[in-house]
Amino acid sequence: MLTLISPDGTVGDRLPITLEEMRRLYSDMVEARTYDHKCMAMQRQGRLATYAPFEGQEAAQIGAAATLRPDDWVAATYRDAALMWRAGYPWSLLVAGRTGDERGGQAPDGVNVLPPSITVGGHMIHAVGLAWAEALRGSDRVALTSFGDGATSEGDFHEAMNFAAVFNTPTVFLCQNNGFAISYPRAEQTRSESIAMKAEGYGMPGVLVDGNDVAAVFEVVREAVTRARRGGGPTLIEAVTYRLGPHTTADDPNRYRDEDDAVEWREKDPLERVRLLLERAGGWTPEWQTDLETRAADVIEEAVAMAEALPQPTAEEMLLRMYEQPTSSIESQLREIGS
């Protein structure tokens, strides 16, 4: 398993990026964590529907998304807000989605990020189709799909991996193995030693990486993205990480896991190790931290305000969202609602 930055912030002989880039990644992770905490709080206040926190997984998501070009495709999940945001999806729409508003799924033009997949496993093959289309028309866009350890048990994972390899599509499969699928531990999910090694069964490279190490994630995903962009086909990456919070706001992790584990994993925090590294390298000060946090809080507050300012969606919109042109059945139901 590749680690470049140890939990204590020390690095081996190399880092794939400059100090300035590292500061950017750190800043992004701080912003993402601010969003995550804000959403948890909002959910408790009844302002959001169920929320799936990603705390602890910031490095995997930010590190991966940072390798993409703005026109690349992303197909991710309910837990991938940080990844989607770093790929261009506005926080305000992510919040809107969580308030229970379909308009939250409408990525801005030019942002090729699909709405988050709520079904587990179904969306990976979409990234195969997206990438395949790009390859067919000779573009060099790639598609990155992110999913959890649990998702690898679904049949659709298998079909997606196989199609990607068979048609040599420029798809990057990023598995965030966060230890659990709701309550079901990774060790029971599959008897293979790693998820990365499953790639072999498809004739595809598989890479195991420390998912709490933003530099290592950046490096392996960048390599996979570059290979895909050059026609070298798909890669499966397993980023080993841990979900520090509950599965969702409706979940109680005490029912199925030892809180000592979480404590242990807090020591491997993806932000703290980068902070230590930056501090040692002279790239971090308490003032900068305060600055980052204030700015992040402002940005997220603004996003929340935008999401909450969206007018109440109408019934008509709901019906008109089904087809480009309303069908006869939609039209007659529109009349029924109007009456």
Partner 1 sequence: MSELTLAQSLNGALATALESDERVVLLGEDIGRTGGVFRITDGLRDKYGEDRVFDTPVAESGIVGAAFGMAIAGMHPVAELQFLGFSYPAYDQIINHVARIRNRSNHRFTAPLVIRVPFGGGIGAAEHHSESTEAIYAHIPGLKVVVPSTPSDARGLLLAAIEDPDPVLFLEPIRLYRAVKEEVPDSYYTTEIGPLRVEREGEDITVVSWGAMMKEARAAAARLEESGVSVEVLDLRTLSPIDADGIVRSATKTGRVVVVHEAPRTAGMGAEVAAIVQERALYSLTAPVRRVTGWDTVFPLKRSEGHYLPTVDRIVQVAQETLEA
Ligand X SMILES: Cc1ncc(C[n+]2csc(CCOP(=O)(O)OP(=O)(O)O)c2C)c(N)n1
Residue 178 interacting entry, from ligand X, partner 1, a copy of itself, none, C-beta within 5 to 8 Å by type: ligand X
Q: How many CB atoms lie within 10 A of CB 81?
A: 26
Tokens of 37: 């905490």
Q: Is 99 in the site for a copy of itself (CB under 8 A)?
A: no
Contact in structure between 168 and 161 (CB atoms under 8 Å): no
Q: Smallest gap, in angstroms, from Cβ of residue 192 to partner 1?
A: 12
How many residues bind a copy of itself (CB under 8 A)? The answer is 23
In three-state secondary structure terms, 208 is: strand
Looking at 230, 256, 280, 323, which residue is catalytic? 256
Residue 29 phi/psi, 5° resolution? -65, -35
Give dist(CA 331, CA 220) in Å, integer: 51
Apex 120 CA angle, 115 and 123, nearest 5 = 50
- Residue 68 interface partner, choices partner 1, ligand X, Mg ion, none, CB cut-off 5-8 Å depending on type: none
**Residue 210 belongs to what H/E stretch?**
strand 206-210
The alpha carbons of the chain give a radius of gyration, in whole angstroms, of 20
Residues of the shown chain interacting with ligand X in the complex, contacts defined by CB under 6 A: 79, 118-121, 147-151, 178, 180-182, 243, 247
**From residue 146 to residue 175, what is the string marking binding to a copy of itself with x (rule CB under 8 A)?**
-------xxxxxxx--x--xx---------
Query: In the bound complex, which residue of the shown chain has the CB atom lying closest to ligand X?
Result: 148
Interface with partner 1 includes 10 (CB under 8 A)? no
Those residues whose C-beta lies under 8 Å from the C-beta of residue 292, and which sit 6 or more positions away, are 26, 27, 30, 31
**232: Cβ–Cβ under 8 A, 6 or more apart, which residues?**
none
β-pairing, 143-148 with 171-177? parallel
Q: How far is the CB of 147 from ligand X (least distance, A)?
A: 6
Site string for partner 1, 43-62 (x = CB under 8 A): ------xx------------
Nearer to partner 1, 153 or 289 (CB): 153
Chain residues 172-201 in contact with a copy of itself, contact rule CB under 8 A: 188-193, 197-198, 200-201
Residues that bind Mg ion (CB under 5 A): 148-149, 178, 181
Closest separation in Å from C-beta 169 to a copy of itself: 12
Cα four-point dihedral sign 91, 235, 207, 6: negative
Active site residue 256: yes
* ∠ Cα 102 108 113 (to 5°): 80
Q: Which does 29 bind (CB under 5 to 8 A by kind): ligand X, a copy of itself, partner 1, none?
A: none
**89 included as an active-site residue:** no
With CB under 5 to 8 Å by kind, the binding choice for 330 among Mg ion, partner 1, a copy of itself, none is partner 1
Asked if 195 is part of the footprint of partner 1 (rule: CB under 8 A), the reply reads no
Q: What's the closest the beta carbon of residue 217 comes to ligand X, in angstroms?
A: 16
Partner whose footprint covers residue 324, from a copy of itself, ligand X, partner 1, none (CB < 5 to 8 Å by kind): partner 1
> How far apart, in Å, do the first and last CA atoms of the chain sit?
63
Number of H helices, E strands in the chain: 13, 7
Q: Is 335 a catalytic residue?
A: no
Strand blocks (E) in 56-183: 73-75, 143-148, 171-177, 180-181
Partner that binds at residue 235, options ligand X, partner 1, Mg ion, none, CB closer than 5 to 8 Å by kind: none
Q: Pick the catalytic residue from 86, 141, 243, 273.
A: 243
Tokens 């895909």, located at residue: 228
The least CB distance from residue 81 to Mg ion, in Å, is 15
Residues in contact with a copy of itself by the rule CB under 8 A: 153-159, 162, 165-166, 188-193, 197-198, 200-204
- The residues assigned a catalytic role are 243, 247, 256
